[in-house]
Amino acid sequence: MEFLGLSLALFGAALAAALSGIGSAIGIGIAGGSAAGVMTEDPNKFGSCLILQALPGTQGIYGLLITFFVLNKLGLLGGAGAVALTWNQGLQIFASCMPIAIVGWISAIYQGKTSAASIMMISKKPEAMGKAIILPAMVETYAVLALLTSILMLMGVQVG
Amino acid sequence: MGVAKLKKAELYYHKSVHEEIAAALQETGVCQIIGDAEGGPASVEALRAESEAAVADVRYLMRTLTPHFNDPISSLDRTLGERPIVSMSDLSKLARETDLSSICTKVRGLEHAIGEGKLELSQARTNQALLESFRFLPYPLSAITEGTRTLTGVAGVVKADQLKTLQAALSEFSKDSELVLEPHDEKAQDIHLVLFLTRQRASEILEACVRKGLSVLDVPAEFKGTVEEERAKLATSIAALEDREASLLKDMENEAETWMPSVQKLSDYWNSLTERYTALGKSGETDRTLLTRFWVPAKDAETVQKKIEAISPNVAFFLSDPGADEEPPALLQNGKYVRPFNILTELYSPPKYRGIDPTPLLAPFFFLFFGMCLGDAGYAIVMLAAIWWLFRKYRRVPLGIRDFIVLFAFSAVSTFVYGIISGSFFGNFIDSFLPFLVPVKNALMLVDPMTNPMQVLGISLLLGVIHLMFGLLIAAYDNFRNGQAIDAIGANISWFLLIVGLCLMGVAMGGMVPPHFQCIVQAMAIIGAVIIFWYAGREKSGIFSKIISGFLALYGSTSYLGDILSYSRLLALGFGSAVIGMIINLLGGMAAAIPYVGWVVAVVVIVGGHLFSILINILGAFVHPLRLQYVEFFGKFYTGGGEPFTPLTLSEEFVSVKP
C-alpha cells in the first residue's frame, strides 16, 4: 500500500487531462462540423470560423495545466524523484483534480454546441462576430471557475 | 469625446448637376443619406439600372475567373492596404474602354466549352472502364452492338454468388444460348459475361436471366471492332480530349490574367456607382430640382457645404439640428488613445444618439484586464515586435484595421507591465534558463500569483467591485441626466451604498480600521438596503406585496456576488498563461537533455510552444475581459440599441481611390 497515495494522485491528474481533453475534442468536433458546412458556401469565412472552432479547446489546456501542476507537485518532472504521499494526501490531490476534469469535460461539449450555433450565425451575419464570440465564452466561464477551484485546492494540499 | 453631434442637411440642386453632387457627397465619405429608395427620380433609376447590370457582369467575371487567376497581390496584403491607387477619373476611363459584356460572352463560351469537354471526358472514361472489363471477349464488339441475322449478344455482370443460379437457369435454354464468362478465381465478386442468344427467344431468356441476378450493361453502338481495337481508339480520343481541356484551361487562365486586374478595379467602380445612384434615388424631386437629405457630423458640415457650393451656384444647402422626435445614427468620436477601443463598443451595439458612449469608460478597464489575463512580459514583446514589423511593412493600413491593431499594441503594453510586476517572462524562462537575471526579476515583482494566488485573487475581486460600482455610478448619472432622480437613487445609488458598505465592513472586520469607521460603513450598507427595500415596493399596493417585493429585491444581491466572483477569471487566465509558459520551458529543458540533437529539439519546443501559447492566450485574454465589459459592466448601465453611422463611401475592396 506504500504507493496508494501516489497512485491516487496520478489517477486524478490523468482524469484532469483525459476528461477535459475528451470534452474539448468533442466540442471542437461539433463546432468543426458547422464550420466546414459554412465554408463550403463561403471559404472566406475560414478565419472567423477557426476562431470560433478553437474556443472549446481551452478546457483541454486547462486540464493539461492541472496535470502538470500535479506532476510538478509530486516531483515527477525534472528528475527530482517522487515525493512520498499518504493515501490521504493522494485522495486530496485526486479531489482537487475533479473540478476541472468534470466541468472541463462537460462544459467543452456545451461550448462546442454554442460555438456551432455562433458559426451558423456569422454565416448569415458576418458583422455579428463580436456577439458570436461572446456567447461561447459565457459557457467557458464555468471551466475557468473550475480551473481556479482546482488550482486553489492543489495549492492548499500539503505534500512532502 | 463620445457620440458625435450630427447635423441634418437638406440640399436642393438642379437636375443637371445631380451626378457631380452625388459624386462629391460620396467622395467626402461623411454623409449618410436619409430616405428610402422606393420611387426615386426616373433619370436616376436608369443610371442605377445600368450600373447594376455592370455589377452583375463584374460579379460573374470575378466568380468565374478568380479560380484561374494567380493574383499578384495576396488577399492579406490587400486587406492591409496594399492596393493600387487610382483616381475615379482613371476608373471611369477604364469603364468606358472596357466592354464588359463582350468579355462576359467570351468567358461564358470558354466556360461552356470546358464544361462540355469535362462531360465528354467523363463519358469516355466510363467507356474505357467498360471495355477494360470485357477484354476476355474474343469476338468483335459488333456481335453485341449489332448481332448477326440469327444471334444477338448481351453484355452483363453478375454477382459471383449468383453465377450458379444463373447458369442453372440458362441450362434450360442450352439450345438457344451461349455464355462467355470472364476468367475469374474464387475471390472475384463481380463476374462480367457476354450472353449470345438466338433472336427468336432472346427477350424471353434475358428476362429469366435478369430475374436470376444478371445486370445488363449498355455497350455504346459506336463500338464495332475487337475490344483491343476499340480500346486503342478510345485511348487516342481521351488523349485528344485531355489536350483540348488543358488548352481551354490555359485560354481561361490567359483571359483571367488579361482581364482580372481591370475587372477588380471595375468591381470597385461599379459598386461605388451603384451605391451612389441608390443614395441619389432616395431624393425627392420636382420638375427641375432634386432634394437630398443627409446626416453629416457637425464638424464636417462646413467642408461638405463648401465642396457642394463649388460645384454649381444653383444649390441651396440648409443645416439643422436633429429634431427631438428624430433618432439620428451614432458615430463614435474619441481621441486617439480611446479611438482604438471604439470597435469594442461597436461589436456590442452602438449607443443611441443621445445615449452615453461607453468607450472611454471601458477603455482603461479593458486595457488593465487584458494585461492581467495575458500577463507576460515576453509575450508582450513578441506582440509589439510583430505589430512594429507589420506597420513597417504596410504603410497604408486602412483606418479600421489600424485601430484594431493599435488596440492590441495598447494591450501589449499593459501585458508587459503586468508581466514585469508578476515576474512572468515567457513563463518562468528567467528561472529556468537565465538564472543570473533572477535578482532583477525579483526586485521588480510586486505580486506573485504562483506562490501567493490569494493576493492576486483579492486584487481581481477588488477590481471587479470597482468596475461594477463605476458602472452603477454611470447608470446613476445617466438617470439624473434624464431627470429620473428617484430611479438613480433607488436602483443605482442604493446598490452602490449597500455593496460598498458590505465590502468595507469586510475590510473593517479585519481590524485594520478604527471603530467609528465601522459605524459609518455599517450605516452605508443599512441605508442602501433600506432604499432598495423601499424602491422595490413603492408602486405596490398593500403592505404585504411591498414587503415581499422588497425582500425579493434584496435577494438580488446574490447576482452581485456572482458578478464579483466572475472577476476571479483575471487570476485564472493570468495564472493559466504563466503555467503554460512554465510547462513549455520544462519540456524544453527536458528535451535539451537528449544527446547531440537535444538543443535543436529544445529550441523547436520552446519557440513553437510559446508561439502556440501566445496565440491561444491572446484569444482568451481578448474574449474574457470583453465578456466582463459586456456582461458585468454594461449590464449595469448600457443597452446600446443605436443605429451605426453608415455614410455613403466609395467601395475600396481592390483599389484605393485617390481624391
At A99-146, the pLDDT tens digits run 999 999 999 999 999 999 999 999 998 888 888 888 898 898 899 889
Question: Could you give the count of Cα atoms lying within 13 Å of B221 in the half-sphere of its Cβ?
Answer: 1
- C-alpha A129/C-alpha A45 separation (Å) is 11
Judged on CB neighbours under 10 Å (0-12, 13-18, 19+), B593 is: exposed
- C-alpha B511/C-alpha B96 separation (Å) is 84
Number of Cβ pairs < 8 A linking chain A and chain B: 78
Residue where a domain stops, chosen among B297, B320, B343: B320
Judged on CB neighbours under 10 Å (0-12, 13-18, 19+), B21 is: buried
Write phi, then psi, for B325 (nearest 5 degrees).
Answer: -90, 0
3-state secondary structure at position B14: strand
Minimum-distance CB partner of A61 among B346, B580, B630: B580
CB contact under 8 A, B579 and A62: no
Q: CA–CA distance from B313 to each of B283, B309, B317, B602 (Å)?
A: 19, 6, 11, 75
Over residues B151-163, the mean pLDDT reads: 88
Query: Which residue type occupies B167?
Result: Q
- C-alpha B522/C-alpha B659 separation (Å) is 65
Give contacts of A57 with chain B, Cβ < 8 Å: 616
Give contacts of A64 with chain B, Cβ < 8 Å: 583
Judged on CB neighbours under 10 Å (0-12, 13-18, 19+), A18 is: middle
Spatial contact of B591 and B602, defined as CB atoms under 8 Å apart: yes
**A44-56: per-residue pLDDT in tens?**
788 788 888 988 9
Residue where a domain stops, chosen among B202, B218, B234: B218
- ipTM exceeds 0.85: no
Going by C-alpha positions, the residue among B196, B182, B193 that lies closest to residue B153 is B196
Give contacts of B427 with chain A, Cβ < 8 Å: none
**Is A73 or B507 the better-scoring residue by pLDDT?**
A73
Cell numbers at A53, concatenated: 472552432
Over residues B68-86, the mean pLDDT reads: 87
Over residues B16-45, the mean pLDDT reads: 84
Spatial contact of B640 and B349, defined as CB atoms under 8 Å apart: yes
The pLDDT score that the predictor gives to residue B39 is 63
Percent of chain B with pLDDT over 70: 99
pLDDT at B618 over 90: yes
Instruction: Assess whether B397 and B474 both reside in one domain.
Output: yes
Please state, rounded to an integer, the average pLDDT across all residues of chain B: 88
- C-alpha B58/C-alpha B261 separation (Å) is 12
**B448-486: per-residue pLDDT in tens?**
887 787 888 889 999 999 999 999 999 999 999 888 888
The pLDDT score that the predictor gives to residue B1 is 60
Start-to-end C-alpha separation, chain A: 17
Going by C-alpha positions, the residue among A90, A132, A151 that lies closest to residue B575 is A151
Which site among B569, B631, B632, B646 would you substitute to test the A interface, given the most A Cβ atoms closer than 10 Å to its Cβ? Answer: B569
Give contacts of A141 with chain B, Cβ < 8 Å: 566, 569, 627
Contacts of B391 (CB under 8 A, 6+ apart): B397, B405
- C-alpha B594/C-alpha B601 separation (Å) is 8
Q: Which residues of B touch A (CB under 8 A)?
A: 344, 346-348, 453-454, 457, 565-566, 568-569, 571-573, 575-576, 579-580, 582-583, 586, 589-590, 616, 619-620, 623-624, 626-627, 630-631
The pLDDT score that the predictor gives to residue A106 is 96
Q: What domain range is B26 assigned to?
A: 6-100+249-320
Spatial contact of B509 and B522, defined as CB atoms under 8 Å apart: no
CB contact under 8 A, B626 and A61: no
Going by C-alpha positions, the residue among A87, A96, A97, A112 that lies closest to residue A25 is A112
Shortest alpha-carbon distance between residue B631 and chain A (Å): 9
For residue A88, the domain's CATH number is 1.20.120.610
Cell numbers at B259, concatenated: 482581364
How many domains is chain B built from?
Answer: 3
Query: Which residue in chain A is spatially nearest to B345 when comparing CA positions?
Result: A130
Greatest mean pLDDT among A17-26, B159-168, B224-233, B648-657 lies in: A17-26
Which site among A147, A153, A155, A157 would you substitute to test the B interface, given the most B Cβ atoms closer than 10 Å to its Cβ? Answer: A147
Shortest alpha-carbon distance between residue B637 and chain A (Å): 18
CB contact under 8 A, A130 and B583: no
**B276-334: per-residue pLDDT in tens?**
988 888 888 888 888 889 999 999 999 999 988 888 888 888 999 998 888 899 999 88
Spatial contact of B263 and B62, defined as CB atoms under 8 Å apart: yes
Instruction: Assess whether B480 and B625 both reside in one domain.
Output: yes
Q: Which of residues 76-105 of A touch B (CB under 8 A)?
A: 77-78
Instruction: Assess whether B210 and B160 both reside in one domain.
Output: yes
pLDDT at B442 over 80: yes
Which site among A28, A42, A46, A65 would you substitute to test the B interface, given the most B Cβ atoms closer than 10 Å to its Cβ? Answer: A65
Q: What domain range is A79 assigned to?
A: 4-156
For residue B192, the domain's CATH number is 3.30.70.2750
Instruction: Assess whether B383 and B515 both reside in one domain.
Output: yes
Shortest alpha-carbon distance between residue B549 and chain A (Å): 29
Instruction: Assess whether B162 and B55 both reside in one domain.
Output: no
The pLDDT score that the predictor gives to residue B468 is 93
Instruction: Assess whether B150 and B255 both reside in one domain.
Output: no
The pLDDT score that the predictor gives to residue B411 is 95
Give contacts of B586 with chain A, Cβ < 8 Å: 68, 72, 77-78
Give contacts of B626 with chain A, Cβ < 8 Å: 130, 133-134, 137
Instruction: Assess whether B447 and B566 both reside in one domain.
Output: yes
Query: Which residue in chain B is spatially nearest to A54 when comparing CA positions?
Result: B616
Give contacts of A58 with chain B, Cβ < 8 Å: 616, 620
Give contacts of B584 with chain A, Cβ < 8 Å: none
CB contact under 8 A, A130 and B626: yes
pLDDT at B611 over 90: yes
Cell numbers at B351, concatenated: 449607443
Instruction: Assess whether B513 and B401 both reside in one domain.
Output: yes
- C-alpha B364/C-alpha B501 separation (Å) is 25
Spatial contact of B613 and B244, defined as CB atoms under 8 Å apart: no
Greatest mean pLDDT among B455-464, B536-545, B604-613, B620-629 lies in: B604-613
Residues recorded for chain A: 160
CB contact under 8 A, A148 and B572: yes
Spatial contact of B379 and B617, defined as CB atoms under 8 Å apart: yes
Query: Which residue in chain A is spatially nearest to B563 when comparing CA positions?
Result: A141
> pLDDT band at B142, cuts 50/70/90?
confident
The pLDDT score that the predictor gives to residue A1 is 67
DSSP label at A128? G
Least confident of B36-50, B76-90, B95-109: B36-50
Spatial contact of B216 and B154, defined as CB atoms under 8 Å apart: yes
Query: Which residue type occupies B302?
Result: E
**B15-26: per-residue pLDDT in tens?**
888 888 888 999
The pLDDT score that the predictor gives to residue B19 is 85
Question: Could you give the count of Cα atoms lying within 13 Å of B633 in the half-sphere of its Cβ?
Answer: 26
Instruction: Assess whether B538 and B389 both reside in one domain.
Output: yes
Shortest alpha-carbon distance between residue A147 and chain B (Å): 7
Write phi, then psi, for B321 (nearest 5 degrees).
Answer: -75, 150
Which helix or strand (DSSP H or E) is residue B75 part of? Answer: helix B75-79
**B94-104: per-residue pLDDT in tens?**
988 888 889 99
Instruction: Assess whether B441 and B585 both reside in one domain.
Output: yes
In a domain, B365, yes or no: yes
**B502-544: per-residue pLDDT in tens?**
888 877 776 666 777 788 888 888 999 999 888 888 887 888 8
Say yes or no: A54 contacts chain B, CB-CB below 8 A.
Answer: yes
The pLDDT score that the predictor gives to residue B511 is 65
In a domain, B474, yes or no: yes
- C-alpha B375/C-alpha B571 separation (Å) is 10
How many domains is chain A built from?
Answer: 1
In a domain, B439, yes or no: yes
Shortest alpha-carbon distance between residue B48 and chain A (Å): 26
Write phi, then psi, for B298 (nearest 5 degrees).
Answer: -55, -35
**B318-351: per-residue pLDDT in tens?**
999 998 888 899 999 888 899 999 989 888 888 9
